[in-house]
């Protein structure tokens, strides 16, 4: 798929598809880096801050 063949009405659909694919991968990668840098305590603290 190239930008030249992408129809305007499919831009939002394509963007959401990209978010659904790359978003979880990015979050997983960042969580791994946090765990390596600060250990499991860092991940636990992050999870608690997300869950309230």
Alpha-carbon distances, residue 48 vs 41, 42, 44 (angstroms): 11, 10, 6
Do the Cβ atoms of 11 and 18 come closer than 8 Å? Answer: no
Which letter does DSSP use for residue 20 in this model? H
- Which has more confidence, 9 or 16? 16
Tokens of 35: 């765990």
- Which has more confidence, 29 or 44? 29
Most confident of 21-25, 28-32, 48-52: 21-25
Q: How confident is the model at residue 10 (pLDDT cuts 50, 70, 90)?
A: confident
Q: How far is CA 49 from the centre of its chain?
A: 18
């Amino acid at each position: 798929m190239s930008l030249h063949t992408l129809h305007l009405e499919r831009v939002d659909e394509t963007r959401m598809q990209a978010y659904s694919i790359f978003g979880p991968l990015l979050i997983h990668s960042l969580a791994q880096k946090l765990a390596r840098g600060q250990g499991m305590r860092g991940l636990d603290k992050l999870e608690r801050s997300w869950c309230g």
